[in-house]
């Protein structure tokens, strides 16, 4: 079946177990940022989205928080890692476009670059996971054992 083949390919990973370290960083940061959007809505959720001009901040902040929590948890588990990375990459592109690019014009390159360090780390980590998958120590690898090479398990 074509659908199952696509799904199997998206879960398959030949990356080593050490990928779990990248999954931990990316997953924990996104999951915690999503939770904080609900815990501190004025500073990090609806209030922040309204302040930076995101349309429909009441809906958008909760949607983004839910995506960050859900995809962050999937990445921590190593379940549907590549698929979970895609919305997080989009999330970071929007964050950079709406918060860091304006800062570039307002405060200059170094001020923007300093403030964007986490954004760049998260987008690059998510792109890495999109490319290599969850690694040998992931649920993805357990669901597709034939597609995972023995040398990746160490």
Mean pLDDT by 10 residues, the chain (154 residues): 71 92 98 98 97 96 98 98 98 95 92 93 98 95 73 45
Which pTM does this prediction carry?
Answer: 0.89
Inside any domain, residue 153: no
Residues in CB range of 67: below 8 A, 6 or more apart = 34, 87, 88, 91
Number of domains present in the structure of the chain: 1
* Domain residue limits at 73: 8-147
Inside any domain, residue 1: no
Inside any domain, residue 138: yes
Inside any domain, residue 3: no
pLDDT tens digits, residue range 33-69? 999 999 999 999 999 999 999 999 999 999 999 999 9
């Amino acid at each position: 079946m074509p659908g199952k083949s696509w799904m199997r390919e998206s879960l398959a990973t030949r990356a080593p177990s050490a990928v779990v370290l990248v999954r931990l960083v990316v997953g924990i940061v996104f999951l915690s940022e999503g939770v904080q959007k609900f815990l501190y809505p004025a500073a990090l959720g609806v209030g922040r989205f309204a302040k930076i001009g995101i349309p429909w901040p009441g809906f958008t902040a909760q949607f983004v928080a839910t995506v960050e929590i859900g995809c962050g948890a999937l990445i921590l588990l190593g379940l549907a890692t590549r698929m979970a990375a895609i919305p997080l990459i989009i999330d970071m592109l929007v964050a950079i476009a709406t918060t860091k690019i304006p800062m570039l014009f307002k405060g200059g390159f170094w001020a923007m670059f300093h403030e964007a360090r986490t954004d760049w780390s998260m987008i690059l980590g998510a792109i890495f996971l999109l490319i290599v998958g969850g690694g040998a120590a992931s649920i993805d690898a357990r669901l597709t054992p034939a597609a995972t090479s023995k040398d990746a398990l160490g």
